[in-house]
């Protein structure tokens, strides 16, 4: 079932009941959710954004959350939703989880957010903001839930876990910048954040490299803690095929690790809004 159909086939009161039961959402955000719920029902499907499925998983306590950070709602409406749902939730319950995680950054569609920003700039930053403590609480809780599984699976036993935390943080940044998309270079910066996440994955990757070419001619540049002098001396000389693959895999990780920090040095300070 696609994202939009969960809302078409649900009633808001049932969705709101789940939001209160599972997430203890305050009453003051009820109308924000309600407005967004009916907006989603009427949003057109953007086929250019619908190919990538929306992956929903369960954390270590069995709570549902989005894999990574959510894209703008306008991108999601036509996407297939893939649930790791062994508990056979109702459509309304699943719609509630989708609605909750779709508001990780705000209770607005991207279109509404842009209109409000434009009005804000046109009125020369005049602010008619009415404080809603319940909204602030809801957004802070979502940020905590976003981090919960990453922290639970963290460990001080290996430096690789530090890279996992950094990747999780940059994924959060990607979702936010896709949502706001306010500046000329926002999409360029997002693409570089995505590349950085890929480098983080490669630097912590212990999987095989079947079908992947690894250039060994510049291997001497990457001798260090990951790819040792011993690995360098043995590369291409092992008789055991498994050892050959292992050396290449280690070299690939060493390359990604070294490139990663140079990449961050050149790009990180541009990633602000």
pLDDT > 60? residue 268: yes
Provide the pLDDT for residue 209. Answer: 76
Is residue 138 within 8 A of residue 26, CB to CB? The reply is: yes
Going by their DSSP bridges, the two strands 64-66 and 54-58 should be labelled as: antiparallel
In this prediction, what percent of the chain has a pLDDT beyond 90? 70
Backbone angles phi, psi at 107, to 5 degrees: -95, 35
Provide the pLDDT for residue 125. Answer: 60
d(CA 102, CA 161): 27
Q: Cα separations (Å) of 2 from 23, 79, 80, 88, 205? A: 23, 5, 4, 17, 32
Q: Cα separations (Å) of 224 from 219, 245, 263? A: 11, 19, 19
How do residues 239-257 score in pLDDT, each as one tens digit?
A: 888 888 889 999 999 999 9
- The model's confidence at residue 33, banded by pLDDT at 50, 70 and 90, is very high
Q: CA dihedral in degrees (258, 263, 269, 272; nearest 10)?
A: -120
pLDDT > 80? residue 63: yes
- The model's confidence at residue 129, banded by pLDDT at 50, 70 and 90, is low
Provide the pLDDT for residue 240. Answer: 87
- The model's confidence at residue 85, banded by pLDDT at 50, 70 and 90, is low
- The model's confidence at residue 258, banded by pLDDT at 50, 70 and 90, is very high
d(CA 188, CA 71): 16
- The model's confidence at residue 126, banded by pLDDT at 50, 70 and 90, is low
d(CA 64, CA 73): 18
pLDDT > 60? residue 156: yes
Closest by CA position to 14, among listed 34, 32, 29, 28: 34
Q: Phi/psi zone of residue 54: left (φ > 0), alpha (ψ -120 to 50 degrees), beta?
A: beta
- The model's confidence at residue 69, banded by pLDDT at 50, 70 and 90, is confident
Provide the pLDDT for residue 117. Answer: 84
Provide the pLDDT for residue 227. Answer: 93
- The model's confidence at residue 183, banded by pLDDT at 50, 70 and 90, is confident
Q: What Rg do the C-alpha atoms of the chain give, in angstroms?
A: 22
How do residues 89-111 score in pLDDT, each as one tens digit?
A: 899 999 999 999 999 999 999 99
pLDDT > 60? residue 73: yes
How do residues 194-229 score in pLDDT, each as one tens digit?
A: 999 999 999 988 666 777 899 999 999 999 999 999
Backbone angles phi, psi at 66, to 5 degrees: -80, 140
Q: Average pLDDT in the 55-74 region?
A: 88
If you search the block for the tokens 């203890």, which residue do you land on?
Answer: 24
Alpha helices in 181-240 (DSSP H): 186-203, 229-234
pTM for this prediction? 0.89
Helix-strand-coil percent breakdown of the chain, rounded to 5? 60, 5, 35
Mean pLDDT for all residues in the chain: 90
- The model's confidence at residue 230, banded by pLDDT at 50, 70 and 90, is very high
CB within 8 Å of 85: residues ≥ 6 apart: 56, 64, 94
């Amino acid at each position: 079932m696609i994202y939009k159909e969960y809302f078409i086939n649900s009633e808001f009161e049932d969705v709101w009941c789940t939001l209160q039961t599972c997430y203890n959402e305050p009453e003051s955000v009820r109308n924000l959710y309600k407005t967004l719920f009916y907006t989603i029902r009427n949003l057109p499907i953007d086929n250019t954004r619908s190919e990538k499925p929306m992956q929903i998983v369960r954390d270590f306590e069995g709570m549902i959350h989005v894999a990574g950070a959510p894209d703008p709602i306008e991108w999601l409406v036509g996407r297939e939703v893939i649930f790791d749902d062994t508990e056979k939730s109702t459509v309304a319950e699943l719609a509630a989880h989708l609605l909750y995680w779709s508001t990780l950054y705000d209770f607005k569609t991207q279109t509404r957010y842009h209109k409000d920003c434009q009005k804000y700039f046109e009125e020369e930053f005049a602010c008619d903001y009415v404080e809603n403590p319940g909204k602030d609480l809801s957004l802070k809780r979502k940020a905590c839930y976003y981090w919960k599984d990453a922290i639970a699976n963290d460990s001080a036993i290996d430096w690789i876990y530090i890279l996992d935390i950094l990747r999780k943080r940059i994924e959060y940044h990607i979702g936010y910048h896709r949502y706001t998309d306010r500046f000329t270079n926002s999409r360029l910066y997002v693409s570089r954040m995505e590349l950085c996440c890929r480098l983080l994955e490669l630097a912590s990757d212990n999987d095989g490299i079947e079908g992947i070419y690894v250039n060994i001619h510049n291997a001497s540049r990457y001798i260090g803690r990951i790819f040792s002098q011993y690995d360098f001396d043995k590369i291409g000389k092992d008789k055991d095929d498994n050892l050959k693959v292992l050396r290449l895999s280690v070299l690939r990780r060493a390359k990604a690790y070294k490139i990663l920090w140079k990449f961050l040095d050149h790009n990180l300070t541009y990633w602000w809004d």
